[in-house]
Chains A and B, each alone.
Chain A
């Protein structure tokens, strides 16, 4: 290892900035998972009977399933009896009604994370649902949104106030028996966000959810459901962080998107779960099922993700292109530094006529990181005139990391046009020296090359978050050559 790489190493070794713990009294249930656990969670949340039945059915199915092993990731088996399935900061009955009632310690936590919950603060144009461990602690701008007929609330609240919508759409995109982690989530999910944009309404502001895992030994199982009716549109963003702990913590979320005729949903993720230390100790297992259903004609769903955190990422935000002329998009930057492992990509399932999809994946591997793109493009027999364009680029920093690409293409109609391009490049010592000979520091040179690599994806992010994502990438990359 020469001095240039040593410099980058120290740059890449910057601290995980969101790694603090909030000291707060927590209402946690004992570790372990059984039907009783599920009844307990459901009771804590005061859910109607249909929810409990739904959960129990999912649990019984989950018991028949086994952990998926096909991903390019390695970790010891997860002991599902050693996890706390519900942890909530103690608060007054029925949750806070306004921000004034939220524990100031929680407000400070979000402030510290750069997500102030005061409605006139920095993120003035963004409505935030703040999910802390297993519960939503505050949702901003609800009144203003309600004036447009928009429902933006925690999932728990939606179950009580809009059970008909929940019944109609929950599990309609990701059925409870879809896969191992989706089944687990369906059984034990605790909270998440619910968004409903009625017919013809363009959501006037960005909606976002900020997920925070705080409690020790707990898993976070959130459930998000976004429905855009005919002609509606919404841009939604989620952010995630967790304290630095030596134990691995499980995060198994399910996100379902439904877009009816002419609706447009843009879903962006900036994922910065604790990645573990540089030797791979601790960190979040991020096992997530995200799927959008372009149910209506001319509907459009775009996923944009910047994945910099988590010890392991297992995540394939997908689009089912059911409606004729519907459009699916996936833009991804995934970074694996130190001992991080990411196996991520997308599925584009073309069912309707003249459906189109675009996949743009940028994988960055540094340190001993392993980065895998796994994607599927399926053109079903009825998908006349379907088109897909896929571009997968990998960037290697240093010589101990790995990049893999596993694209699957299934074409069952002769009119389909499917294109796939892939490149792999490396930040070389010669590039760094060239930049340094022009007066740039090694750090600036690396971040310049990395942001050049990611530019096409970053420009898909909402303005407020593009800068944050870029900074985050700088932080996550510190110390990556070795």
Chain B
């Protein structure tokens, strides 16, 4: 279970998350929606442990462990996976080599025997078929020259291979046509299981036609402004995000002072 309490975070001195609370139980899929600049990607990067995102206060507990105390690679080995909004290109390093190194780094940590080249290829080829990637992508450099859709499929492929306990998908649907979107969504749905939690970050309701979440949250100005079931996504589609802000004003939730300063630097 993932428990986020009163999380405050900033980037380059600019406060982005201002007291975010969220609880994701094992096996649940939560969608996080919200307008641009509301802090969706910051939440993803903070959970994954990117150093340039500074945690100013609050806590994140993951299955009883202090997530924020772990370095990024430890979080990954423990089973946290981030599907990047903008997957990074690594010229000169073949996808196959990269994937095998990643799979074995995670397996070592989990005290599982490392996969040899044969076993690895067997697995990776099966998973590639499932996400509709041709084998040649194994031998190309990581994400180099991939189209937007190919990069996103590569993210879903990595997620399938690394078998995370918590997957965070950061706008995996952005820039995808409807066919690619369906393939990505199928990949995600296949991975749904009682042991695996997922946080699906998206700007559009469209993805949620294919991935039906257990809960939907609306992020506004760095905190969860509204939560509901899958029907909330549809409502957002019809009404837009503006009414959330109005609702905040009415309840006075937006006026609460951030409790950041006293705990700044706790995560570093």
Residue numbers of A with Cβ under 8 A of B are: 2-4, 425, 428-431, 433-442, 444, 448-449, 452-453, 455
Contacts between the two chains (Cβ within 8 Å), count: 83
- Across-interface contacts of B48 in A (CB, < 8 A): 433, 437
Selecting from B95-103, B223-231, B241-249, the interface stretch reads B95-103
A3 and B51 form a contact (CB under 8 A): yes
Q: When A438-B105, A440-B73, A448-B98 are in contact, do A433 and B50 touch as well, CB less than 8 Å?
A: yes
Q: When A437-B82, A439-B73 are in contact, do A452 and B91 touch as well, CB less than 8 Å?
A: yes
Interchain CA distance A435-B52 in the complex, whole Å: 16
Interchain CA distance A273-B203 in the complex, whole Å: 56
Q: Is B158 an interface residue (CB 8 A)?
A: yes
Q: Is B68 an interface residue (CB 8 A)?
A: no
Interchain CA distance A449-B84 in the complex, whole Å: 19
Closest to B143 in A: A434
Closest to B158 in A: A438
B98 and A438 form a contact (CB under 8 A): yes
B92 and A433 form a contact (CB under 8 A): no
B52 and A429 form a contact (CB under 8 A): yes
B72 and A436 form a contact (CB under 8 A): yes
Interchain CA distance A197-B211 in the complex, whole Å: 71
Q: 1/0 per position for B49-83, CB-CB distance to A under 8 A?
A: 11110000000000000000001110111000110
- Across-interface contacts of B141 in A (CB, < 8 A): 452
Shortest distance between the CB of A407 and any CB in chain B (Å): 21
Closest to B48 in A: A437
Q: 1/0 per position for B90-132, CB-CB distance to A under 8 A?
A: 1111100110011001100100000000000000000000000
A439 and B76 form a contact (CB under 8 A): yes
A440 and B102 form a contact (CB under 8 A): yes
Query: Can you list the 4 inter-chain pairs with the closest CB atoms, starting with the nearest?
Result: A452-B92, A438-B102, A439-B105, A452-B93
How many chain B residues have a CB neighbour from A under 8 Å? 33
Shortest distance between the CB of B118 and any CB in chain A (Å): 21
Shortest distance between the CB of A64 and any CB in chain B (Å): 47
Shortest distance between the CB of B213 and any CB in chain A (Å): 23
Shortest distance between the CB of B114 and any CB in chain A (Å): 12
- Across-interface contacts of A433 in B (CB, < 8 A): 48, 50-51, 72, 88
- Across-interface contacts of B81 in A (CB, < 8 A): 437
- Across-interface contacts of A439 in B (CB, < 8 A): 73, 76-77, 102, 105-106, 109, 162
A2 and B52 form a contact (CB under 8 A): yes
Q: Is B87 an interface residue (CB 8 A)?
A: yes
Shortest distance between the CB of A19 and any CB in chain B (Å): 30
A438 and B93 form a contact (CB under 8 A): no
B102 and A453 form a contact (CB under 8 A): no
B101 and A441 form a contact (CB under 8 A): no
**B87: which of A4, A428, A434, A442 is its contact (CB, 8 Å)?**
A434
Shortest distance between the CB of B140 and any CB in chain A (Å): 12
Interchain CA distance A434-B213 in the complex, whole Å: 26
- Across-interface contacts of A441 in B (CB, < 8 A): 73, 105
Shortest distance between the CB of A165 and any CB in chain B (Å): 44
**A438: which of B50, B91, B92, B162 is its contact (CB, 8 Å)?**
B162
Shortest distance between the CB of B36 and any CB in chain A (Å): 20
Interchain CA distance A3-B97 in the complex, whole Å: 26
Supply 7 further A-B pairs (C-beta < 8 A) apart from A435-B102, A439-B109, A452-B94: A2-B51, A436-B71, A436-B72, A437-B81, A439-B73, A441-B105, A444-B101
B51 and A4 form a contact (CB under 8 A): yes
- Across-interface contacts of A425 in B (CB, < 8 A): 91
Interchain CA distance A438-B79 in the complex, whole Å: 9
**B93: which of A2, A430, A442, A448 is its contact (CB, 8 Å)?**
A448
Closest to B106 in A: A439
- Across-interface contacts of B91 in A (CB, < 8 A): 425, 452-453
Q: When A2-B51, A439-B102, A439-B109 are in contact, do A434 and B90 touch as well, CB less than 8 Å?
A: yes
- Across-interface contacts of A4 in B (CB, < 8 A): 51
B102 and A430 form a contact (CB under 8 A): no
Interchain CA distance A437-B82 in the complex, whole Å: 7
Interchain CA distance A2-B51 in the complex, whole Å: 7
Q: When A436-B73, A452-B141 are in contact, do A430 and B88 touch as well, CB less than 8 Å?
A: yes
Interchain CA distance A141-B117 in the complex, whole Å: 38
- Across-interface contacts of B84 in A (CB, < 8 A): 434, 437
Interchain CA distance A442-B50 in the complex, whole Å: 13
Shortest distance between the CB of B97 and any CB in chain A (Å): 7
Shortest distance between the CB of A298 and any CB in chain B (Å): 34
- Across-interface contacts of B101 in A (CB, < 8 A): 438, 440, 444, 448
A436 and B76 form a contact (CB under 8 A): yes
Interchain CA distance A444-B104 in the complex, whole Å: 12
Q: When A438-B102, A439-B77, A439-B106 are in contact, do A431 and B72 touch as well, CB less than 8 Å?
A: no
Shortest distance between the CB of A425 and any CB in chain B (Å): 6
B92 and A449 form a contact (CB under 8 A): yes
Interchain CA distance A452-B96 in the complex, whole Å: 12
Residue with the greatest number of chain A CB neighbours at <10 A, chosen from B51, B73, B84, B93: B73
Shortest distance between the CB of A190 and any CB in chain B (Å): 41
- Across-interface contacts of A449 in B (CB, < 8 A): 90, 92-93
Shortest distance between the CB of A256 and any CB in chain B (Å): 35
- Across-interface contacts of B72 in A (CB, < 8 A): 433, 436-437
21 contacts between A and B (CB under 8 A): A2-B52, A425-B91, A430-B88, A431-B90, A433-B51, A434-B84, A434-B88, A435-B102, A436-B71, A437-B49, A437-B73, A437-B76, A437-B84, A438-B76, A438-B158, A444-B101, A448-B93, A452-B90, A452-B91, A452-B93, A452-B97
Shortest distance between the CB of B52 and any CB in chain A (Å): 6
